[in-house]
Structure 1
Amino acid sequence: MEALYILIPLGLTIIFAAGAALIWAIHSGQFENLEQAERLGLDDE
């Protein structure tokens, strides 16, 4: 039971950090040019 006092805030912190990283990536333009990302994954053969 005592582990929940550590795991619940830790889990919420990780979720908040992931959400903040996603929002930062969206606002900084990481997802602006998705066509180029598709071309990087294709083979030239």
Structure 2
Amino acid sequence: MGILLFLIPVSLALGGLGLAAFLWSLRNRQYDDPEGDANRILSKEWDDRPKP
């Protein structure tokens, strides 16, 4: 039972750290993609099909 007094704060701290990292990535526009997949799918430049 004593281990719970250690594990609960550690898990809350790690969860808070993950949330802080996610919010930082949102604020720094890590998920913005100005080109977008819609433009990339039409390009032959990055064709990942296997070569015959």
| TM-score, length-scaled by structure 2 | 0.67
Structure number with greater Rg is: 2
Percent identity between the aligned chains? 32
Higher relative contact order (CA 8 A, sep 6+): 1
More helix by share: 1
| TM-score, length-scaled by structure 1 | 0.76
Root-mean-square deviation over aligned CA pairs: 2.2
Structure 1 residue runs of 5 or longer lacking an equivalent are: none
Structure 2 residue runs of 5 or longer lacking an equivalent are: 41-45
